[in-house]
């Protein structure tokens, strides 16, 4: 999507919005087990973009996940089909890979929907990225999404790994999705920021 006049809004400039791209909410992590957005996901916008800034977990090597709700956040675990691949390279150059990640997939499942894998918890380690969720308020179609994340994985031997992770899928529901949550596989989200935009 060409940014054009919407660049400032998408990049998070304070107080900037347009008629078509609007910054709706910002959440700052402070040892939270879950960060949830349970309002502002409405039929007003056809797409929602979530940006993640330096998500830092309290426990080393944990995956970062999300899930959606059709009842305002009372229940999560909407059935989904997902797929994942990654490009990786170690800091010491000892290995590299471009590979499909079958262990991160769901086939009409209600399990965790992955965003990032194995993020390190050392002081300088984190993950960052974005999630695009399309037309969540539709009561006709399933709900497509895709993500891209930059991940500095756990700095344990034999080598620190850098990952670029790509995930995509769809929530197989014709009910409106109206809430979303983000969480670590273990421990808390000790630091970081998540911003949510609505795009008409």
Token look-up 């935009």 returns 197
What's the pLDDT at 14? 46
Peptide bond into 158 cis (omega under 30): yes
User: How many whole angstroms separate alpha carbon 185 and alpha carbon 30?
Assistant: 16
CB 160 within 8 Å of CB 153: yes
What's the pLDDT at 7? 56
Query: Pick from 30, 28, 31: which is nearest to 12 by CA?
Result: 28
What's the pLDDT at 94? 86
What's the pLDDT at 20? 86
pLDDT tens for the 200 residues of the chain, in order? 445 555 555 555 544 555 689 999 999 999 999 999 999 999 999 999 999 999 999 999 999 999 999 999 999 999 999 999 999 998 888 889 999 999 899 999 999 999 999 999 989 999 999 999 999 999 999 999 999 999 998 766 667 889 999 999 999 999 999 999 999 999 999 999 999 999 98
Partners of residue 198 on adjacent β-strands: 22, 48
What's the pLDDT at 1? 43
**DSSP 3-state of 22:** strand
What's the pLDDT at 2? 47
């Amino acid at each position: 999507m060409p940014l054009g006049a919407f660049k400032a809004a998408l990049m998070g400039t304070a107080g900037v919005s347009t008629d078509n791209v609007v910054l709706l909410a910002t959440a700052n992590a402070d040892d939270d087990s879950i960060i949830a957005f349970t309002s502002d996901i409405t039929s007003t916008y056809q797409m929602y973009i979530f940006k993640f800034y330096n998500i830092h977990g309290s426990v080393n090597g944990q995956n970062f996940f999300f899930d959606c709700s059709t009842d305002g956040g009372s229940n999560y675990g909407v059935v989904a089909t997902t797929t994942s691949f990654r490009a990786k390279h170690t800091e010491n150059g000892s290995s590299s890979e471009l590979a499909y990640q079958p262990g991160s997939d769901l086939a009409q499942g209600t399990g965790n929907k992955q965003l990032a894998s194995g993020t390190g918890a050392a002081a300088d380690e984190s993950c960052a990225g974005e999630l695009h969720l399309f037309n969540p308020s539709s009561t006709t179609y399933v709900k497509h999404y895709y993500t891209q994340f930059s991940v500095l994985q756990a700095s344990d031997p034999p080598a620190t790994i850098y990952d670029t992770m790509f995930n995509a899928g769809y929530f197989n529901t014709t009910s409106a999705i109206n809430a979303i949550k983000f969480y670590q596989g273990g421990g808390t989200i000790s630091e970081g920021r998540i911003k949510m935009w609505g795009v008409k």
